[in-house]
Structure 1
Amino acid sequence: MNLQGKTILITGGASGIGLEATKQFLAIGATVIITGRNEEKLAAVKRAYPAVIAIKSDVSKEADAKMLFNEVEKLGGIDILYNNAGVGVSPLNLGIANEKHFEGAVYEMEVNYLGVVRLNNIFMQMLSTKNESAIINTTSILSIVPSIIEATYSSSKAALSFYTKSLRTHLEIIKSNIKVFELLPPVVDTAMVAERDGKKLSPQHLVKDLIKGLQKNKYTIRVGDTKTLYYLNRFFPKLAFGLVNAKKYYNSLK
Protein backbone atom coordinates (compact mmCIF):
# COMPACT_ATOMS: atom_id res chain seq x y z
CA MET A 1 0.00 0.00 0.00
CA ASN A 2 1.30 3.43 -0.93
CA LEU A 3 1.12 5.72 2.12
CA GLN A 4 2.60 8.89 0.68
CA GLY A 5 -0.09 11.48 0.05
CA LYS A 6 -2.72 9.52 1.97
CA THR A 7 -4.87 11.15 4.65
CA ILE A 8 -4.97 9.14 7.86
CA LEU A 9 -7.18 9.57 10.93
CA ILE A 10 -5.51 8.31 14.12
CA THR A 11 -7.68 7.87 17.19
CA GLY A 12 -5.82 8.40 20.45
CA GLY A 13 -3.23 10.28 18.43
CA ALA A 14 -2.04 12.72 21.10
CA SER A 15 0.11 10.39 23.18
CA GLY A 16 1.90 7.05 23.28
CA ILE A 17 1.69 4.88 20.17
CA GLY A 18 -0.69 7.32 18.47
CA LEU A 19 1.73 10.22 18.85
CA GLU A 20 4.62 8.17 17.50
CA ALA A 21 2.45 7.09 14.57
CA THR A 22 1.63 10.74 13.93
CA LYS A 23 5.34 11.58 13.70
CA GLN A 24 6.22 8.70 11.42
CA PHE A 25 3.26 9.09 9.06
CA LEU A 26 4.03 12.80 8.70
CA ALA A 27 7.65 11.93 7.91
CA ILE A 28 6.65 9.73 4.97
CA GLY A 29 4.40 12.38 3.45
CA ALA A 30 0.94 11.54 4.77
CA THR A 31 -1.64 14.04 5.98
CA VAL A 32 -2.50 13.27 9.60
CA ILE A 33 -5.70 13.97 11.53
CA ILE A 34 -5.64 13.05 15.21
CA THR A 35 -8.43 12.75 17.69
CA GLY A 36 -8.62 12.21 21.43
CA ARG A 37 -10.39 13.25 24.61
CA ASN A 38 -7.68 15.47 26.11
CA GLU A 39 -7.79 18.94 24.56
CA GLU A 40 -4.51 20.02 26.17
CA LYS A 41 -2.62 17.06 24.72
CA LEU A 42 -4.13 17.65 21.30
CA ALA A 43 -3.10 21.29 21.44
CA ALA A 44 0.44 20.33 22.44
CA VAL A 45 0.77 18.02 19.44
CA LYS A 46 -0.58 20.75 17.16
CA ARG A 47 2.04 23.19 18.46
CA ALA A 48 4.84 20.68 17.94
CA TYR A 49 3.58 19.56 14.53
CA PRO A 50 1.62 22.41 12.88
CA ALA A 51 0.69 20.24 9.89
CA VAL A 52 -1.42 18.00 12.12
CA ILE A 53 -5.18 18.49 12.23
CA ALA A 54 -6.49 17.90 15.77
CA ILE A 55 -10.15 17.24 16.62
CA LYS A 56 -11.37 16.59 20.17
CA SER A 57 -13.53 13.47 20.23
CA ASP A 58 -14.29 10.47 22.45
CA VAL A 59 -14.55 7.24 20.42
CA SER A 60 -16.85 5.67 23.01
CA LYS A 61 -19.56 8.32 22.47
CA GLU A 62 -21.93 8.13 19.52
CA ALA A 63 -22.46 11.90 19.30
CA ASP A 64 -18.69 12.50 19.24
CA ALA A 65 -18.23 9.90 16.51
CA LYS A 66 -20.84 11.58 14.31
CA MET A 67 -19.31 15.00 14.96
CA LEU A 68 -15.88 13.63 14.04
CA PHE A 69 -17.19 12.24 10.77
CA ASN A 70 -18.77 15.58 9.86
CA GLU A 71 -15.54 17.45 10.57
CA VAL A 72 -13.47 14.97 8.57
CA GLU A 73 -15.93 15.15 5.68
CA LYS A 74 -15.51 18.94 5.57
CA LEU A 75 -11.76 18.40 5.29
CA GLY A 76 -12.15 16.21 2.22
CA GLY A 77 -12.30 12.79 3.87
CA ILE A 78 -9.68 10.18 4.75
CA ASP A 79 -7.97 7.24 3.07
CA ILE A 80 -7.00 5.37 6.24
CA LEU A 81 -8.79 4.96 9.58
CA TYR A 82 -6.32 3.89 12.27
CA ASN A 83 -8.22 2.71 15.35
CA ASN A 84 -5.41 3.17 17.85
CA ALA A 85 -7.30 4.44 20.92
CA GLY A 86 -7.49 1.93 23.72
CA VAL A 87 -7.93 1.77 27.48
CA GLY A 88 -7.09 -0.67 30.23
CA VAL A 89 -8.47 -0.57 33.75
CA SER A 90 -5.95 -1.39 36.47
CA PRO A 91 -6.87 -4.95 37.49
CA LEU A 92 -5.25 -4.92 40.91
CA ASN A 93 -7.75 -2.45 42.36
CA LEU A 94 -10.91 -4.11 41.09
CA GLY A 95 -11.00 -7.69 42.28
CA ILE A 96 -13.56 -10.04 40.75
CA ALA A 97 -17.36 -10.15 40.87
CA ASN A 98 -18.01 -6.66 42.15
CA GLU A 99 -19.54 -3.52 40.68
CA LYS A 100 -16.19 -1.83 39.97
CA HIS A 101 -15.02 -4.88 38.05
CA PHE A 102 -18.14 -4.75 35.88
CA GLU A 103 -17.83 -0.99 35.30
CA GLY A 104 -14.22 -1.48 34.20
CA ALA A 105 -15.24 -4.23 31.79
CA VAL A 106 -17.94 -2.02 30.25
CA TYR A 107 -15.49 0.86 29.85
CA GLU A 108 -12.88 -1.32 28.14
CA MET A 109 -15.44 -2.87 25.81
CA GLU A 110 -16.96 0.50 24.87
CA VAL A 111 -13.59 1.97 23.88
CA ASN A 112 -11.59 -1.04 22.71
CA TYR A 113 -14.31 -2.84 20.77
CA LEU A 114 -17.65 -1.09 20.33
CA GLY A 115 -16.04 2.29 19.65
CA VAL A 116 -14.02 0.73 16.83
CA VAL A 117 -17.06 -0.95 15.29
CA ARG A 118 -18.96 2.34 15.47
CA LEU A 119 -16.22 4.36 13.74
CA ASN A 120 -15.69 1.72 11.08
CA ASN A 121 -19.41 1.71 10.29
CA ILE A 122 -19.56 5.50 10.13
CA PHE A 123 -16.51 5.87 7.88
CA MET A 124 -17.07 2.78 5.69
CA GLN A 125 -18.87 4.56 2.87
CA MET A 126 -16.28 7.35 2.78
CA LEU A 127 -13.42 4.86 2.62
CA SER A 128 -15.14 2.87 -0.13
CA THR A 129 -15.05 5.90 -2.45
CA LYS A 130 -11.24 5.98 -2.42
CA ASN A 131 -9.08 4.15 -4.95
CA GLU A 132 -6.99 2.65 -2.16
CA SER A 133 -8.10 2.78 1.46
CA ALA A 134 -7.62 0.94 4.71
CA ILE A 135 -8.79 0.29 8.24
CA ILE A 136 -6.18 -0.51 10.91
CA ASN A 137 -7.43 -2.13 14.11
CA THR A 138 -5.05 -2.42 17.06
CA THR A 139 -5.60 -5.63 19.01
CA SER A 140 -2.98 -7.06 21.37
CA ILE A 141 -0.70 -9.93 22.28
CA LEU A 142 -3.42 -10.66 24.86
CA SER A 143 -5.90 -11.41 22.07
CA ILE A 144 -3.80 -14.55 21.49
CA VAL A 145 -3.29 -15.61 25.11
CA PRO A 146 -5.33 -13.94 27.89
CA SER A 147 -3.93 -12.44 31.06
CA ILE A 148 -5.65 -13.65 34.23
CA ILE A 149 -5.26 -10.23 35.85
CA GLU A 150 -6.50 -8.42 32.74
CA ALA A 151 -9.30 -10.75 31.80
CA THR A 152 -11.76 -8.12 30.59
CA TYR A 153 -9.10 -6.16 28.69
CA SER A 154 -7.95 -9.39 27.03
CA SER A 155 -11.55 -10.18 26.16
CA SER A 156 -12.13 -6.78 24.56
CA LYS A 157 -9.06 -7.25 22.37
CA ALA A 158 -10.02 -10.83 21.48
CA ALA A 159 -13.45 -9.57 20.41
CA LEU A 160 -11.79 -6.94 18.24
CA SER A 161 -9.47 -9.52 16.71
CA PHE A 162 -12.35 -11.82 15.68
CA TYR A 163 -14.29 -8.85 14.34
CA THR A 164 -11.27 -7.65 12.33
CA LYS A 165 -10.79 -11.03 10.64
CA SER A 166 -14.50 -11.27 9.84
CA LEU A 167 -14.66 -7.71 8.51
CA ARG A 168 -11.65 -8.32 6.25
CA THR A 169 -13.20 -11.45 4.77
CA HIS A 170 -16.60 -9.80 4.31
CA LEU A 171 -15.06 -6.88 2.42
CA GLU A 172 -13.04 -9.28 0.26
CA ILE A 173 -16.20 -11.22 -0.64
CA ILE A 174 -18.00 -8.07 -1.81
CA LYS A 175 -14.82 -6.99 -3.65
CA SER A 176 -14.39 -3.81 -1.64
CA ASN A 177 -11.23 -1.75 -2.13
CA ILE A 178 -10.90 -1.28 1.66
CA LYS A 179 -7.98 -3.21 3.13
CA VAL A 180 -8.27 -4.33 6.74
CA PHE A 181 -5.10 -4.59 8.82
CA GLU A 182 -4.68 -5.98 12.33
CA LEU A 183 -1.78 -4.69 14.44
CA LEU A 184 -0.87 -6.95 17.37
CA PRO A 185 1.56 -5.18 19.73
CA PRO A 186 3.31 -6.80 22.67
CA VAL A 187 3.74 -4.73 25.86
CA VAL A 188 4.71 -1.28 24.58
CA ASP A 189 6.51 1.36 26.63
CA THR A 190 3.70 3.88 27.13
CA ALA A 191 2.06 5.62 30.09
CA MET A 192 -0.55 2.83 30.22
CA VAL A 193 2.08 0.37 31.53
CA ALA A 194 4.50 2.82 33.13
CA GLU A 195 4.32 1.14 36.53
CA ARG A 196 5.11 -2.33 35.21
CA ASP A 197 8.49 -4.03 35.22
CA GLY A 198 9.74 -6.30 32.49
CA LYS A 199 10.37 -6.13 28.78
CA LYS A 200 8.68 -3.36 26.82
CA LEU A 201 8.86 -2.55 23.13
CA SER A 202 9.45 1.06 22.11
CA PRO A 203 6.62 2.88 20.27
CA GLN A 204 9.18 3.78 17.59
CA HIS A 205 9.86 0.11 16.85
CA LEU A 206 6.16 -0.76 16.83
CA VAL A 207 5.16 2.00 14.40
CA LYS A 208 8.13 1.31 12.14
CA ASP A 209 6.98 -2.32 11.80
CA LEU A 210 3.39 -1.18 11.30
CA ILE A 211 4.38 1.02 8.37
CA LYS A 212 6.46 -1.76 6.82
CA GLY A 213 3.49 -4.11 7.12
CA LEU A 214 1.12 -1.62 5.51
CA GLN A 215 3.50 -1.00 2.62
CA LYS A 216 3.78 -4.75 2.00
CA ASN A 217 0.02 -5.35 2.36
CA LYS A 218 0.68 -7.66 5.30
CA TYR A 219 -2.79 -7.78 6.80
CA THR A 220 -1.83 -9.34 10.14
CA ILE A 221 1.10 -7.45 11.66
CA ARG A 222 2.59 -9.18 14.69
CA VAL A 223 5.43 -7.25 16.30
CA GLY A 224 8.16 -8.30 18.75
CA ASP A 225 7.17 -10.96 21.28
CA THR A 226 3.74 -11.29 19.67
CA LYS A 227 5.32 -13.24 16.79
CA THR A 228 6.94 -15.73 19.15
CA LEU A 229 3.84 -16.13 21.33
CA TYR A 230 1.61 -16.73 18.30
CA TYR A 231 3.61 -19.73 17.11
CA LEU A 232 4.30 -20.98 20.63
CA ASN A 233 0.58 -20.95 21.41
CA ARG A 234 -0.18 -23.05 18.34
CA PHE A 235 2.06 -25.92 19.43
CA PHE A 236 2.53 -25.44 23.18
CA PRO A 237 -0.54 -23.56 24.48
CA LYS A 238 0.09 -24.44 28.13
CA LEU A 239 3.60 -23.03 27.96
CA ALA A 240 2.36 -19.88 26.20
CA PHE A 241 -0.29 -19.35 28.88
CA GLY A 242 2.33 -19.74 31.59
CA LEU A 243 4.64 -17.21 29.99
CA VAL A 244 1.90 -14.58 29.85
CA ASN A 245 0.73 -15.39 33.36
CA ALA A 246 3.94 -15.65 35.36
CA LYS A 247 3.74 -16.68 39.03
CA LYS A 248 4.40 -13.12 40.21
CA TYR A 249 1.05 -12.13 38.69
CA TYR A 250 -0.72 -15.00 40.42
CA ASN A 251 0.77 -13.83 43.72
CA SER A 252 -0.56 -10.31 43.17
CA LEU A 253 -4.10 -11.68 43.36
CA LYS A 254 -3.66 -13.12 46.85
Structure 2
Amino acid sequence: MKTTNNTIFISGGSAGIGLAFAKKLSAAGNKVIINGRNEERLQNALKELDNAVAIQGDLSVAEDRIRIAKELTTQYPEVNIIINNAGAAFMNDLSDSKNNAAEKAFQEINTNYLSVIDFTQLVLPHLIQQKDAAIVNITSIAVFRGNKYLPTYSASKAALHLYTQGLRDSFEENPNLNVYEVYPPLVNTEFSAEIGGANGISPSEVADELFLALEKNQFDVLVGESKKFADKL
Protein backbone atom coordinates (compact mmCIF):
# COMPACT_ATOMS: atom_id res chain seq x y z
CA MET A 1 0.00 0.00 0.00
CA LYS A 2 1.05 3.62 -0.22
CA THR A 3 3.51 4.84 2.42
CA THR A 4 2.83 8.57 2.16
CA ASN A 5 -0.23 10.82 2.39
CA ASN A 6 -1.90 8.52 4.88
CA THR A 7 -3.52 9.51 8.16
CA ILE A 8 -2.32 7.08 10.79
CA PHE A 9 -3.51 6.44 14.35
CA ILE A 10 -0.91 4.90 16.69
CA SER A 11 -1.88 3.71 20.15
CA GLY A 12 0.92 3.86 22.68
CA GLY A 13 2.50 6.45 20.42
CA SER A 14 4.19 8.66 23.02
CA ALA A 15 7.21 6.43 23.66
CA GLY A 16 9.09 3.31 22.61
CA ILE A 17 8.08 1.45 19.48
CA GLY A 18 4.98 3.58 19.03
CA LEU A 19 6.97 6.81 18.96
CA ALA A 20 9.47 5.23 16.56
CA PHE A 21 6.57 4.38 14.23
CA ALA A 22 5.31 7.95 14.53
CA LYS A 23 8.72 9.43 13.69
CA LYS A 24 9.26 7.17 10.68
CA LEU A 25 5.79 7.65 9.25
CA SER A 26 5.52 11.38 9.84
CA ALA A 27 8.94 11.90 8.24
CA ALA A 28 7.65 10.04 5.17
CA GLY A 29 4.85 12.55 4.64
CA ASN A 30 2.00 11.05 6.63
CA LYS A 31 -0.25 12.71 9.18
CA VAL A 32 0.15 10.94 12.51
CA ILE A 33 -2.28 10.81 15.43
CA ILE A 34 -0.64 9.47 18.57
CA ASN A 35 -2.52 8.12 21.55
CA GLY A 36 -1.47 7.54 25.13
CA ARG A 37 -2.69 7.79 28.69
CA ASN A 38 -0.38 10.59 29.84
CA GLU A 39 -1.02 14.03 28.37
CA GLU A 40 2.41 15.39 29.32
CA ARG A 41 4.19 12.53 27.58
CA LEU A 42 2.01 13.02 24.51
CA GLN A 43 2.87 16.71 24.32
CA ASN A 44 6.58 15.96 24.71
CA ALA A 45 6.35 13.39 21.91
CA LEU A 46 4.64 15.90 19.62
CA LYS A 47 7.70 18.14 19.91
CA GLU A 48 9.67 15.41 18.12
CA LEU A 49 7.17 14.99 15.28
CA ASP A 50 6.01 16.86 12.22
CA ASN A 51 2.38 16.91 11.08
CA ALA A 52 1.18 15.15 14.22
CA VAL A 53 -1.59 15.54 16.79
CA ALA A 54 -2.55 13.61 19.92
CA ILE A 55 -5.66 12.05 21.40
CA GLN A 56 -5.28 11.33 25.11
CA GLY A 57 -7.00 8.33 26.62
CA ASP A 58 -6.66 4.80 27.96
CA LEU A 59 -7.75 2.24 25.39
CA SER A 60 -7.98 -0.43 28.08
CA VAL A 61 -11.01 1.43 29.47
CA ALA A 62 -14.26 0.93 27.55
CA GLU A 63 -15.49 4.51 27.95
CA ASP A 64 -12.20 5.88 26.65
CA ARG A 65 -12.20 3.48 23.69
CA ILE A 66 -15.63 4.67 22.61
CA ARG A 67 -14.67 8.33 23.00
CA ILE A 68 -11.36 7.93 21.18
CA ALA A 69 -12.93 6.03 18.27
CA LYS A 70 -15.62 8.69 17.88
CA GLU A 71 -13.15 11.58 18.09
CA LEU A 72 -10.79 9.87 15.68
CA THR A 73 -13.34 9.14 12.98
CA THR A 74 -15.22 12.45 13.24
CA GLN A 75 -12.33 14.89 13.63
CA TYR A 76 -9.98 13.01 11.29
CA PRO A 77 -12.29 11.38 8.71
CA GLU A 78 -9.33 10.73 6.42
CA VAL A 79 -7.79 8.27 8.89
CA ASN A 80 -6.99 5.07 7.01
CA ILE A 81 -4.37 3.20 9.06
CA ILE A 82 -4.71 2.01 12.64
CA ILE A 83 -1.64 0.72 14.49
CA ASN A 84 -2.65 -1.19 17.63
CA ASN A 85 0.57 -0.86 19.57
CA ALA A 86 -0.38 -0.08 23.19
CA GLY A 87 0.36 -2.96 25.52
CA ALA A 88 0.87 -4.18 29.07
CA ALA A 89 3.40 -6.69 30.37
CA PHE A 90 4.28 -7.98 33.83
CA MET A 91 6.91 -10.31 35.18
CA ASN A 92 4.70 -13.14 36.39
CA ASP A 93 6.33 -15.92 38.41
CA LEU A 94 3.91 -18.82 38.20
CA SER A 95 5.93 -20.79 40.78
CA ASP A 96 5.33 -18.17 43.49
CA SER A 97 2.16 -19.00 45.43
CA LYS A 98 2.00 -15.42 46.74
CA ASN A 99 2.07 -13.94 43.25
CA ASN A 100 -1.31 -12.79 41.95
CA ALA A 101 -0.79 -14.32 38.52
CA ALA A 102 -4.43 -14.08 37.49
CA GLU A 103 -4.68 -10.35 38.21
CA LYS A 104 -1.61 -9.62 36.10
CA ALA A 105 -2.91 -11.88 33.34
CA PHE A 106 -6.28 -10.12 33.41
CA GLN A 107 -4.64 -6.74 32.81
CA GLU A 108 -2.51 -8.13 29.99
CA ILE A 109 -5.42 -9.89 28.29
CA ASN A 110 -7.60 -6.80 28.63
CA THR A 111 -5.01 -4.39 27.22
CA ASN A 112 -3.24 -6.60 24.68
CA TYR A 113 -6.20 -8.56 23.34
CA LEU A 114 -9.77 -7.69 24.31
CA SER A 115 -9.29 -3.93 24.03
CA VAL A 116 -7.73 -4.32 20.59
CA ILE A 117 -10.70 -6.36 19.38
CA ASP A 118 -13.18 -3.82 20.70
CA PHE A 119 -11.37 -0.75 19.38
CA THR A 120 -10.88 -2.39 16.00
CA GLN A 121 -14.58 -3.19 15.85
CA LEU A 122 -15.41 0.44 16.65
CA VAL A 123 -13.30 1.83 13.79
CA LEU A 124 -13.84 -0.91 11.21
CA PRO A 125 -17.01 0.63 9.70
CA HIS A 126 -14.97 3.74 8.96
CA LEU A 127 -11.91 1.92 7.64
CA ILE A 128 -13.79 -0.23 5.15
CA GLN A 129 -15.05 2.93 3.49
CA GLN A 130 -11.49 4.07 2.70
CA LYS A 131 -9.89 3.36 -0.67
CA ASP A 132 -6.61 2.18 0.87
CA ALA A 133 -6.73 1.13 4.52
CA ALA A 134 -4.81 -1.03 6.95
CA ILE A 135 -4.89 -2.41 10.46
CA VAL A 136 -1.50 -3.14 12.01
CA ASN A 137 -1.38 -5.27 15.16
CA ILE A 138 1.82 -5.39 17.17
CA THR A 139 2.29 -8.83 18.69
CA SER A 140 5.67 -10.29 19.70
CA ILE A 141 8.29 -12.94 19.12
CA ALA A 142 6.65 -14.43 22.23
CA VAL A 143 3.75 -15.76 20.12
CA PHE A 144 6.06 -18.54 18.92
CA ARG A 145 7.07 -19.71 22.38
CA GLY A 146 6.23 -18.50 25.87
CA ASN A 147 8.80 -18.23 28.66
CA LYS A 148 8.84 -18.37 32.45
CA TYR A 149 9.39 -14.65 32.86
CA LEU A 150 6.42 -13.44 30.80
CA PRO A 151 4.10 -16.44 30.51
CA THR A 152 0.80 -14.59 30.62
CA TYR A 153 2.02 -11.72 28.45
CA SER A 154 3.09 -14.30 25.87
CA ALA A 155 -0.35 -15.88 26.06
CA SER A 156 -2.06 -12.53 25.49
CA LYS A 157 0.07 -11.86 22.42
CA ALA A 158 -0.57 -15.39 21.11
CA ALA A 159 -4.29 -14.66 21.40
CA LEU A 160 -3.83 -11.40 19.49
CA HIS A 161 -1.84 -13.28 16.84
CA LEU A 162 -4.67 -15.74 16.19
CA TYR A 163 -7.25 -12.95 16.19
CA THR A 164 -5.15 -11.05 13.65
CA GLN A 165 -5.04 -14.06 11.36
CA GLY A 166 -8.80 -14.43 11.64
CA LEU A 167 -9.33 -10.73 10.94
CA ARG A 168 -7.11 -10.97 7.87
CA ASP A 169 -9.04 -13.98 6.60
CA SER A 170 -12.35 -12.18 7.21
CA PHE A 171 -11.37 -9.36 4.86
CA GLU A 172 -9.29 -11.27 2.33
CA GLU A 173 -11.81 -10.47 -0.42
CA ASN A 174 -11.72 -6.76 0.35
CA PRO A 175 -8.82 -5.30 -1.67
CA ASN A 176 -9.00 -1.97 0.17
CA LEU A 177 -8.29 -3.28 3.69
CA ASN A 178 -5.05 -5.03 4.59
CA VAL A 179 -4.20 -6.56 7.96
CA TYR A 180 -0.57 -6.57 9.09
CA GLU A 181 1.11 -8.17 12.08
CA VAL A 182 4.47 -7.09 13.49
CA TYR A 183 6.53 -9.53 15.61
CA PRO A 184 9.15 -7.54 17.55
CA PRO A 185 11.80 -9.38 19.55
CA LEU A 186 13.26 -7.78 22.69
CA VAL A 187 13.40 -4.02 22.04
CA ASN A 188 15.33 -1.44 24.01
CA THR A 189 12.51 0.65 25.48
CA GLU A 190 11.33 1.81 28.90
CA PHE A 191 8.52 -0.75 28.53
CA SER A 192 11.00 -3.64 28.43
CA ALA A 193 13.55 -2.32 30.94
CA GLU A 194 12.46 -4.78 33.63
CA ILE A 195 13.27 -7.77 31.42
CA GLY A 196 16.62 -6.61 30.10
CA GLY A 197 15.46 -4.36 27.31
CA ALA A 198 18.85 -2.65 27.21
CA ASN A 199 20.09 -5.73 25.35
CA GLY A 200 17.38 -5.45 22.70
CA ILE A 201 17.25 -3.88 19.27
CA SER A 202 16.38 -0.23 18.75
CA PRO A 203 12.74 0.82 18.27
CA SER A 204 13.71 2.43 14.97
CA GLU A 205 14.61 -1.01 13.56
CA VAL A 206 11.04 -2.18 14.17
CA ALA A 207 9.70 0.97 12.50
CA ASP A 208 11.96 0.48 9.48
CA GLU A 209 10.74 -3.10 9.02
CA LEU A 210 7.09 -2.04 9.18
CA PHE A 211 7.68 0.71 6.62
CA LEU A 212 9.27 -1.76 4.19
CA ALA A 213 6.42 -4.22 4.77
CA LEU A 214 3.82 -1.58 3.95
CA GLU A 215 5.66 -0.81 0.71
CA LYS A 216 5.73 -4.49 -0.27
CA ASN A 217 2.30 -5.51 1.09
CA GLN A 218 4.10 -8.01 3.32
CA PHE A 219 1.47 -8.76 5.92
CA ASP A 220 3.63 -10.70 8.41
CA VAL A 221 6.43 -8.42 9.59
CA LEU A 222 9.21 -10.41 11.23
CA VAL A 223 11.85 -8.32 12.96
CA GLY A 224 15.33 -9.27 14.16
CA GLU A 225 15.36 -12.56 16.05
CA SER A 226 11.76 -13.28 15.13
CA LYS A 227 12.87 -13.94 11.54
CA LYS A 228 14.15 -17.36 12.61
CA PHE A 229 10.51 -18.38 13.08
CA ALA A 230 9.48 -17.61 9.50
CA ASP A 231 8.69 -21.27 8.87
CA LYS A 232 6.04 -21.20 11.63
CA LEU A 233 3.81 -18.67 9.92
Bin of the TM-score, shorter chain as denominator length? over 0.9
Aligned residue type for 1:16? G
- 1: distance between equivalents of 2:71 and 2:63? 12
Q: Is the 8 A contact 1:144 1:230 kept in 2?
A: no
**Which residue number in structure 1 is paired with residue 179 of structure 2?**
180
What residue in structure 2 maps to residue 217 of structure 1? 217
* Whole-angstrom distance in 2 between the partners of 1:156 and 1:135: 18
Counterpart contact for 1:128–1:176, Cα < 8 Å: no
Counterpart in the other structure of 1:74: 75
Q: Name the residue aligned to 1:103.
A: 103
Secondary structure of the residue that 2:171 maps to in structure 1? helix
1:201 aligns with 2:189: no
Report which of the two structures shows the higher radius of gyration computed on alpha carbons: 1
State the AA in 2 paired with 1:52. A
Residues 118-166 of structure 1: per-residue CA shift (max 9 Å, x gap): 1110000110010010000011000011112211100000000000001
Q: For residues 50 and 25 of structure 1, do their structure 2 counterparts lie closer, same or farther at Cα, with a shift above 3 Å needed?
A: closer
TM-score (norm. length: structure 2) = 0.93
Report the 3-state secondary structure (helix = DSSP H, G, I; strand = E; otherwise coil) of the residue aligned with 1:91. Answer: coil
For structure 1, the residue ranges without an aligned partner over 5 or more in a row are: 235-254
Partner of 2:116: 116
Q: Which amino acid aligns with 1:53?
A: V
Query: Any runs of at least 4 consecutive aligned residues in structure 1 with deviations exceeding 6 A, and if so which?
Result: none
Asked if structure 1 preserves the Cα contact closer than 8 Å seen for 2:23 and 2:48, the reply is: no
How far apart in 2 are the matches of 1:24 and 1:50? 10
- Partner amino acid for 2:225? D
1:155/1:96 Cα in 2 relative to 1: closer, same or farther (>3 Å)? farther
1:42: which partner in 2? Answer: 42
Matched-pair contact (CA < 8 Å) for 1:95–1:101:
no
State the alpha-carbon separation in 2 of the partners of residues 59 and 176 from structure 1.
28
Quote the residue 1:153 is aligned against: 153
Over 3 Å counting, the alpha-carbon distance change for 1:192 and 1:125 in structure 2 is same
Q: Which protein is richer in helix relative to its size?
A: 1
2:40 aligned partner, one-letter code: E
Look up the match of 2:85: 84
Superposed counterparts of 1:50-69, under 5 Å: 51-69=51-69
Secondary structure at 2:221 match in 1 = strand
Aligned residues: 231
Give the CA deviation at 1:61. 1.0
Residues 115, 33 of structure 1: CA spacing in aligned structure 2 closer, same or farther, 3 A cutoff?
A: same
Q: SS state of the match for residue 22, structure 1? A: helix
What letter corresponds to residue 127 of structure 2 in structure 1? L
Structure 2 counterpart of 1:163: 163
What is the match of residue 27 of structure 2?
Answer: 27
What's the RMSD between the two structures over aligned residues? 1.8
Alignment of 1:126 onto 2:126: yes
The question of whether the paired residues in 2 share the 8 Å contact of 1:36 and 1:57 is answered with yes
TM-score by length of 1: 0.85
Q: How far does residue 50 in structure 1 lie from its aligned partner after superposition?
A: 5.6
- 1:126-145 to structure 2, matched below 5 A, reads 126-145=126-145
Give, in whole Å, the separation in 2 of the partners of 1:30 and 1:200: 28
Q: Distance in 2 between matches of 1:190 and 1:219?
A: 24
Identity %: 34
Q: How far, CA to CA, are the matches of 1:46 and 1:221 in structure 2?
A: 26
In structure 2, what is the equivalent of residue 239 of structure 1? none
Long gaps (5+) in structure 2: none
